[in-house]
Every structure is written in C-alpha cells, then in structure tokens.
Amino acid sequence: MSVKNLMKPELVFAKQQITSKKRVLEHLAEAIGNCLHCNSDEVYDALLGREKLGSTGIGNGIAIPHCRLDDVNQASLVLMSLETPIDYDAVDRRPIDLIFALVVPPHQCDEHLATLAQIAELAQSEDKLAKLREQQDSSKLQEAFESLM
C-alpha cells in the first residue's frame, strides 16, 4: 500500500507550537485516538514504549514514532510539522521539526516495515524535506507530501 493512502486529512498538522517530545507524543496519541476510535492513553503508552527502546528521531530533523496496536484495524499515518524544532534525542543530536507517526494493526508487520522504509527514504532528500517544511497549513502540507510520494 502506498504511504499516501495511509494518511487522512484529519491526521495532518502543519506548524504546531509544541515544545517537547512528551507533548508531541501526547498530541499524536490524542489525534490517533479520536480519528481511529481507540483509546488515546493506550496509543500514548505504545508510542512511549517504542521510544524507550530507542529514539525514533532518525536524523535530518525527522522523527518516525510508530507502534502496533490491537485496537486499530487499518494502518494510519500522522504527518506533523513543528513551528520550532525541538530536542527529540535524535541519532544525529539535531532537533526535529517533521514527524511521521505510524500506527498499524499487529497483523500488518510487512506493510509496517515497508512504510517505514519509504519514509526513511524521503528523509534522505533535503529538497523534499524543504518542500514539506515550507508549508504553512495542513492541507498544503498534505498536498506537498502526496506529491513527493
């Protein structure tokens, strides 16, 4: 499945004024819980549990928090840009300002890995990242993302 098919307009957030990793995870959990009709606390716990294994800040200002959840029946992607980069314990020690959060049902492991690989590939292109970073509203951010995938 194409990455852009995993994204719903209500899961795209441009230029958020969030100042910490904890608040990013809370915002993601709330959005996922509301959109996918699952428990936000469980989403938060799953995302945080994955972060405890090692930061999902992959470098170049990108984080890809992800988890598997029993309560979701379809894979979904959240795209968020931040107004100001934040410390996220990224592997390159640089602050992050683009977040691609992925939530998948337990039976979709292969798709999960393929999606993570597609996002990681996107993160290698400074030009593509710049196009995402310049978008000021959520609909434009989604359009830009879809045009790059």
Query: What is residue 18's DSSP assignment?
Result: -
pLDDT band for 115, please (50, 70, 90 cuts).
Answer: confident
Q: What is the mean pLDDT of the chain?
A: 91
**Amino acid 109: pLDDT:** 64
pLDDT band for 77, please (50, 70, 90 cuts).
Answer: very high
pLDDT, average across residues 42-50: 95
**Helix crossing, 138-148 with 126-133: angle to 10°?**
160
pTM of the model: 0.92
Tell me whether residue 37 is one of the annotated catalytic residues.
Answer: no
Please tell me the least confidently modeled range out of 12-16, 34-38, 116-120: 116-120
| 10: containing domain | 3-148
pLDDT, average across residues 28-46: 94
**Amino acid 25: pLDDT:** 97
**Amino acid 53: pLDDT:** 94
Number of helices and strands (H, E) in the chain? 5, 6
| Residue 34, number of CB atoms within 10 A of its CB | 12
**Amino acid 118: pLDDT:** 82
Query: What is residue 95's DSSP assignment?
Result: -
The answer to whether residue 88 scores a pLDDT higher than 60 is yes
Query: Rounded CA gap, 83 and 141, in Å?
Result: 13
CATH number of the domain that residue 137 is part of: 3.40.930.10
pLDDT, average across residues 115-139: 89
Query: Rounded CA gap, 118 and 135, in Å?
Result: 21
Please tell me the least confidently modeled range out of 39-43, 52-56, 122-126: 122-126
The answer to whether residue 1 scores a pLDDT higher than 70 is no
Count: domains in the chain: 1
**Amino acid 145: pLDDT:** 92
